[in-house]
Structure 1
């Protein structure tokens, strides 16, 4: 029996040729101790864009003002995870870790640093690369 489908919105904030990634807390049940984009579950009745805006406000304290869906905008990671990915290139506020129970670090990552990071999923490499080349 297949588990319930988890729909997730992820924002890749891009500035000065770098992408902002969040390090998932080692005590997280899913994808612990690795780097990931900013985001989270899409709530019932919420669009992926609404979830993106909400998660960026809750997790890093920024108001997203310009974004676009990455192509492809939806990626299936296994049978139970649907990832909606957005490039965010304008926002109000300074990113800060407002969810220390979820993330224990934030970092601006250059393309050449991706290979040295433990990412939440290998599929993130082409997504991050595409976001940086937008």
Structure 2
């Protein structure tokens, strides 16, 4: 079983960080990105694509922007998030994404150094950014 990154997340100014993430799903597999070891938050871990919601931006719009910036795809984000993960100082809304234009590629090599399409069993052996990811993967890939 993989371990979970232990890096502490520190809030800026004590505020809640809102994050939007997408579990791109294709052929019984989901896409994970490996965060470079120099990242301030959760370095050297596998995580879902996505990122921080900017001021005045909705979480679904943030996810569309992040998927375009990180993967070079135009995603269709529909409905409410599939699930939500909360931490002491963050909330991550996660959508399952089945429709996008373009082939996902690592277009942000300063943030990620690898991407992989994985099934639930394969991803559980990895060092993950959050211990809740295997359960989310399992539910979304059913």
Q: CA deviation at 1:65?
A: 2.3
Q: Name stretches of at least 5 consecutive residues in structure 1 with no aligned partner.
A: none
How many equivalent residue pairs?
Answer: 131
Higher fraction of strand: 1
Deviation at 1:6, TM superposition (A): 0.7
Aligned to 1:40: 51
Unpaired segments ≥5 residues, structure 2: 1-10
CA spacing shift, 1:31–1:38, aligned 2, 3 Å: same
Aligned CA RMSD, in angstroms, stands at: 1.7
Tell me, yes or no, if the aligned pair for 1:22 and 1:35 is still in contact at 8 Å.
Answer: yes
SS in 2 for 1:116: coil
For residues 55-94 of structure 1, what are the structure 2 equivalents within 5 Å?
A: 55-71=66-82, 73-77=83-87, 79-94=88-103
| 1:5 and 2:19 correspond | no
Sort the Cα spacing of 1:81 and 1:19 in 2 relative to 1 into closer, same or farther, 3 A.
Answer: same
Structure 1 residue 69, shift from structure 2 partner: 3.8
Cα deviations across residues 79-121 of structure 1 (Å, max 9, x unaligned)? 1010000000010000000111110001001111122111101
Equivalent residue in structure 2 for 1:101, among 110, 115, 118: 110
Determine the structure 2 residue equivalent to 1:14. Answer: 25
Residues 72 and 102 of structure 2 are in contact (CA less than 8 Å); yes or no, is this contact kept in structure 1?
yes
1:70: Cα distance to partner? 4.2
Provide the TM-score with structure 2 as the length reference. Answer: 0.86
Q: Normalising by structure 1, report the TM-score.
A: 0.91
User: Any runs of at least 4 consecutive aligned residues in structure 1 with deviations exceeding 3 A, and if so which?
Assistant: 66-71
Give the Cα separation in 1 of the matches to 2:53 and 2:64. 11
Partner of residue 23, structure 1: 34
Equivalent position SS for 2:98? strand
